[in-house]
Amino acid sequence: MKIRTLLGDITKLECDAIVNAANTSLLGGGGVDGAIHKAAGPELLEACKELHGCDTGQAKITWGYQLPAKYVIHTPGPIWRGGDQGEEALLADSYRNCLELADCHDCQTVAFPSISTGVYRFPLEKAAKIAVETIKSFESRASVVQEVILVAFDSRTKEYYDRALETV
C-alpha cells in the first residue's frame, strides 16, 4: 500500500473515495466539509440527512455526486480539548474506520484531509503522526486499498505529514 502527501484541494481529486472532516450532525459546515458539500452539490446533503449523524471517530459513506471522486467517507474527528479526553484514540479511530469502509467498498485509492487540525484545533504534529501510524497499521489488513493520499491544503500542513511519513 502506497502512502503519499499532496498539496491541493481534495475536492478536485478523481480517486475512489475522499474523506470529509465532518461534524457529528453530518449536515455540512465550513472548512473541508463546506468545500466538499459545495463541490458535490445539494444531493450530498440530502444523502447525509438520511444517515442521521455520526459519532466522533466513526465513519459513514455516501456517493460523491458531482465530485470527481466516486464516494465521500464522512468522519467527525475529535475536538482537541487538551489531550486528556481520549482525543488521540478517537483520531486514530477516524482514520481506521474510514479505511475499513473504503476497503469494503472496493476503493483502491483513498484521500484524506488533515482531520481535526483546523477548526477542531488538534495539534498538527501529533495528528500527522497518528494518521501515518494508523494508516501503516491498517496496511496488513487492507484487501483492496492500494494507495492513500494525505492531502494538505497548505505547505505547513504538508511538511508535518511528510515528516511523519519519514519518521513513523
- Tell me the closest approach of the beta carbon of residue 146 to ligand APR, in angstroms: 21
Where along the sequence are the contacts to ligand APR (CB under 6 A)?
A: 9-11, 21-23, 29-35, 77, 113-120, 151, 153-154, 157
Nearer to ligand APR, 109 or 114 (CB): 114
Q: Widest CA span of the chain, in angstroms?
A: 41
- Tell me the closest approach of the beta carbon of residue 77 to ligand APR, in angstroms: 5
Distance (Å, whole) CA 14 – CA 115: 20
Distance (Å, whole) CA 13 – CA 11: 6
- Tell me the closest approach of the beta carbon of residue 132 to ligand APR, in angstroms: 15
Nearer to ligand APR, 99 or 111 (CB): 111
The residue whose grid cell reads 465550513 is: 30
Active site residues: 33
Find out whether 110 and 16 touch, Cβ atoms under 8 Å.
Answer: yes
Phi, psi of 56 (to 5 degrees): -55, 135
Nearer to ligand APR, 101 or 111 (CB): 111
The dihedral through the CA atoms of 34, 40, 41, 44 has a sign that is negative
- Tell me the closest approach of the beta carbon of residue 60 to ligand APR, in angstroms: 14
Nearer to ligand APR, 95 or 153 (CB): 153
Q: What is the dihedral of CA 92, 96, 102, 105, to 10 degrees?
A: -140
Q: Which grid cell is 57?
A: 471517530
